Amino acid sequence: HARVICLARALSKRTVHAILRHIQRSLVFNVDEDSVDFRPAFECYPFRKGSWMDTTMQDLLADFVDEVLLPYARSRYGAAGCALSDILVRRYLPGERRGHDVHCDSRAMVTANLGLSDPSDYIGGLYAQPKPEADSRRFFSLGPGRFAAPFVRPRPWSRS
């Protein structure tokens, strides 16, 4: 069974709206090829390789990262040294990217997802697929401000 941990409200509606306003007005999205499907990525990294790249996003998300995300990951996976590597913001707009092919975030010990859009605004969404068969997919609602992380077993890893 796919197991996903969801926290009902990790960020306030006010913070989510501030993040969305900043994303819409200020972030520059990279359109280089995506590593999964080689289409334009439409992505931005406000936090990259352990450092904040965007001070507004830092103001909006640093407390969440320090007080919710990292303590959760360290406790849940018994990884006291777990640290944030990247924050990726991806957009899906008409005429641009409308989805992302099936993939596994194999370079991450834990991948967390934070909802920014209301699920009634789109079709599909985030899902877990514990088996190779598509019928094992389990979609779940990730509303604005909700945080989700798949259950993963920590495994030895190294930087490449």
Which residue in 63, 55, 66 sits closest to 27, CA to CA? 55
Kindly report, residue by residue over 69-97, the tens digit of the pLDDT.
889 888 887 888 889 988 988 887 888 87
- Where are the extended beta strands (E) located within the chain? 4-7, 43-48, 51-52, 87-90, 113-114, 127-128, 138-139, 147-150
**Residues ≥6 apart with Cβ < 8 Å to 60:** 15, 18, 19, 22
CA distance 160 to 153: 20
Kindly report, residue by residue over 58-74, the tens digit of the pLDDT.
999 999 999 988 898 88
CA distance 33 to 8: 34
Coil, strand or helix at 135: helix
pTM comes to 0.79
